Structure 1
Amino acid sequence: MPRKAQVFLTFDVEDPVTPASDDAVVWLADLLREKGVSAAFFVTGDKARALVGRRRLDVIEALRGHDIGYHTNHHSTHPTVAEYLESYGWADGVAEVVRRERSGADLIRDLSGQQLCGFATAGTSWGPQVPGALADLNIPAHVHSFSRTGGSHNPHWYAGALCFARSEAIGPVEDDLQDPARFADLIGRLPQIIRRAARSQDRVLHLYIGHPTIFVNQEFWDGLNYASGRNPEPGTDLAAPPPRSSASTRTMLNNLAQLVDAVRAVPEAEFVALSDLVASRRTTPAFPQGWFATALSEAAGPDIRTTSRLLSPAQLLYTLCRAIQGEDVDRAGPGGEVLGPVEHPEPAEQADHPTWLDDKQLRKVAESVCRTVAATGALPTLARTDGIAVPVATLYGSLLDLVTRRPVDTLSSLPGRMPLSARTELPPIADEISEHYARRVRRWMHRPDLNVTELTRLTRAQTWSLRAAVAA
């Protein structure tokens, strides 16, 4: 029996302008239902309101049997997600996401009578506070996240949420469905893509089909109306994109049907509903006796590693500090999710620190970390005690050095002094994620003067919270 890739399909349902895009949703939902495939349709609040206004609740009815997700309240209308988060820090940014997005999410839940399967990033507009807000929005996962673990883990945990990396999705496939040469190339590559996914640790393959509006229109509705910060006056009619010919629409639908058949023809593939995939990855991992030693061995090395299937670096540092406080962590378990540092250190505080800590200082430093996590759910930037401010990366690396030299179960009886050595502040993946984010976010859907300095800082800091998601 070959290992199978778990293939899931997604669509972004966002066009409130053209009534034909409503029909496209129905056609796509019906086509896939006839094929026995359940896809995930991520709907915007504005699209849901347009369906109500046009009396097209048959579109929502057509989605029964499929997963329904959330695709932001207003998508490309300014301020977009990144624009409204531009000047916020962590806690106030999370609160702002909840304030702006709750009404759209609640409307879609009410119309569909379904729980939402996830939150899909709108275009390139994102901030790390979005996954941080999902628990408050009662949304179990985040699709098209800019996060990734660096270990080809998809899905993964980031900022306290189960996330699927934008970089790991294949698509949008709509670009291939309308071009014969590109479609033939995709069909030719598909068996290799599936087999590669089946051999991976996570066996997940995300086929991002795209947007129902592109099945009936030649361009995107939002680029015509909102590019580069443009915001039409409320009440004015939005420009409609030029329609696609009915023959071209039929070609795209037929090619999608062929794509489904081509996936089914590969023995290593199986279609799964996104909601089932999310449920299997949101289970609490098992922590058998000795799990702490295993987690420490996974973390050993010169860099802050994010590929553990047990703990994020933030969770592991918190667990180490609890062990220093005398807690039997092997029995108690690691506790809940822990965020990366979200605070700004005081400008007057320097990252300078002594070359070692005595046992009393180390206990106090560990206590300060535990106190901050208990109060905020996040690591401090600097662990402070008696006028000493130790960067958490230095504390983390120094503690890992310590436990490699002595048995794990003796952390409650510390040496007279522990050497401190400077460490890189963040996991190496932080540079890759922030570069990808900064490059992508500069595209058409934002004001040209958008400043993502603080969003990038928080994005980088939350790489401390990364870990792979474990399947049930």
Structure 2
Amino acid sequence: MANIKVLLWFDVEDYITPEAQDAWSGALQVLKEKGIPGIFKIVGEKARLTSAQQRQDILNGLSGHEIGYHSDLHSQHPVSTEYLEHLGFREGAMEFETRERAGLEDVQRITRSPVVCYGQAGYSWAPQTFAALRKWGVPVYLDDHDQIMLEGRPFWYGGLLNFTSLTATIKLSFKEGGMERAIAEFDRYCEQSAHESVGFISIYCHECDFVCEGFWDAVNFARGRQTPREEWRPAPLKPDGEMEHWLAKLGEFIDYTLSKGQIEYITAERALSLERSQPGTLTESEVRELAATVDRELGFRELGGKSYSASELHSLFAGLLLGRELTPQLAYGPEHEAVSEARGEALRVADIKKALEAAEEPHVLGFRQLPDCYEAAGRKVSVLDLTCTMARIIRLGLRDDDTVALVEGILETERYAADNDLWGPKWRIFPENFRAPNTVRMSKLQTWTLKPALFA
């Protein structure tokens, strides 16, 4: 069986340039001729336009391909990071659902297909989107974004399987020399993945790339500009005949990749079916083995071919102390990073158990979220310190009447979240000096949900 899996995805987004529709239709025809599945992440407004134009060539051509969602309006302001930046995690998740659900439903209704994956418009990533996507039943996040990176490999974050910023990512360029560079990159990634049981290569472009010299949104929405609909202008076009030329080049590129052997083009749904990290119920000895790996530093762990996020470890440690079923439970990270009042103090194990039993965990769109802190013997204890202290209790075999020094924990997974909050230069649609410090802060807190994805 082919060990190198290729995810070929298209961000379908230009609802202003008429010629972009013909390019989309042409790309679908190329994939039909080559007999491979594509992943089409569609903007809600683009789907509505396609329906209004009665483009049956496109809608029928999507049969056999996977449908993804790419936001409702893409680059019209405020984009998702702009409207979520000043909201908390719970409030932001609800706001994203309110603003973006209609677009998702339109994409599903018009394509007559479920949405399997999502990717943000441009650079407008935000951690609150994950809870809404999970509520909608969208299991995969597919894009090219560098806010959360796990050594260039797929990972779980926010309850979704993430294919973002993979080392083996190729952005197709339909300019002179672009296909030659893509072939060289493909060869290099195939060589790197040759000895892996499963390796992934992520390849993407936009439908408008085949026919446009520039981007439709740069013309109308760059640097925070919100051009009224009646003044929208299409993107500049390539010369006549260029679209057909580059569509043919896409076909040639696909032919080349298939000639390598051990290559299989797959959908995000198929990739999800290959993932094997999700654990079932554990034994007491397995939880003790996991607790033995945690001292001050808390992060994801692997055991017996399964992976566990920090929030899943929290649930397992609490379950063992309270005599509950040892099935890991995902919970979103807390709203804020709290500081324990009891630092430097020793607490009775019985008081820590009482704190766990008495705590009312918050929820985000119906999903569990870790509280900022617990109250043990009248003192506030952060969820981070409490989790590391639970690991110490288990590791030392302490009983209810024993005391334990509170561990001052470190969430080591935060290092997988980028620190730079100046996002304006990263995407031409943002105002040039746009900053997202709250988004960056929350992205770190949500690394409680981060863990490697494992494939077979």
TM-score normalised per structure 2: 0.89
Tell me if structure 2 keeps the 8 A contact 1:338–1:373: no
CA contact (8 A) 1:5 1:270 kept: yes
What corresponds to 1:456 in structure 2? Answer: 440
Question: 1:396 aligned to 2:387?
Answer: yes
Deviations 1:83-104 (A, max 9, x none): 1112211111111111111111
Partners of 1:398 and 1:421 within 8 A in 2:
yes
- Looking at structure 1, the residues matched to 86 and 301 of structure 2 have their Cα atoms a distance apart, in angstroms, of 31
Change (3 A) 1:447 1:151: closer
How many residue pairs align between the two structures?
449
Instruction: Report the AA paired with residue 216 of structure 1.
Output: V
Instruction: Tell me the CA shift for residue 292 of structure 1.
Output: 2.7
Structure 2 residue 222 is matched with structure 1 residue 223: no
Could you tell me how far 1:468 is from its partner in structure 2?
Answer: 2.3
Matched, 1:314 2:308: no
Q: Report the alpha carbon displacement of residue 58 of structure 1 after superposing the two structures with TM.
A: 2.6
Instruction: Sort the Cα spacing of 1:190 and 1:55 in 2 relative to 1 into closer, same or farther, 3 A.
Output: same
User: Which residue number corresponds to residue 191 of structure 2?
Assistant: 195
Matched residues in 1 for 2:7 and 2:343: separation? Answer: 49
**Which amino acid is the alignment partner of residue 244 of structure 1?**
K
| Partner SS, residue 141 of structure 2 | strand
2:265 matched residue in structure 1: 271
1:469 counterpart (449, 453, 456): 453
Distance (whole Å) between structure 2 residues aligned to residue 217 and residue 68 of structure 1: 23
State the Cα deviation string for residues 148-204 of structure 1 (Å, max 9, x = none). Answer: 4635440x221222222235461321x2x4222x43233234223023235457522
SS at match of 2:96: helix
Task: Indicate whether 1:238 and 2:232 are aligned.
Answer: yes
For residue 276 of structure 1, report the CA deviation from its aligned partner.
1.6
Question: CA, structure 1 residues 172+437, in 2 after alignment: closer, same or farther (shift >3 Å)?
Answer: farther
Higher helix fraction (1 or 2):
1
Provide the C-alpha distance between the structure 2 equivalents of 1:361 and 1:92, rounded to a whole number of angstroms. 32
Distance in 2 (alpha carbons) for counterparts of 1:216 and 1:282:
41
Equivalent residue for 1:339, pick from 321, 325, 332: 332
User: What SS class does the counterpart of residue 169 from structure 2 fall into?
Assistant: coil
TM-aligned CA distance change 1:132 to 1:166, over 3 Å? farther
SS in 1 for 2:231: coil
Aligned residues with identical type, % of pairs: 23
List gaps (5 residues or longer) in structure 1.
none
Instruction: Single out whichever of 300-309 and 19-28 deviates more from structure 2.
Output: 300-309
Give 1:318's aligned amino acid: S
Structure 2 CA distance for aligned equivalents of residues 440 and 275 of structure 1: 33
Superposition RMSD on alpha carbons, in Å?
Answer: 2.7
Letter matched to residue 259 of structure 2? A
SS at match of 1:242: coil
Of 251-260 and 275-284, deviating more is 275-284
The two structures have a TM-score, normalised by structure 1, of 0.86
1:318–1:373 CA distance, 2 compared to 1 (3 A): farther
The correspondence of residues 68-217 of structure 1 with structure 2, limited to 5 A, is: 68-144=67-143, 146=146, 148=148, 150-154=150-154, 156-168=155-167, 170-173=169-172, 175=173, 177-180=174-177, 182-200=178-196, 203-208=199-204, 210-217=205-212
- For residue 383 of structure 1, the aligned residue among 374, 384, 403 is 374
Q: Which amino acid aligns with 1:320?
A: F
Higher strand share: 2
2: CA distance, partners of 1:441 / 1:86: 17
SS of residue matched to 2:419:
helix
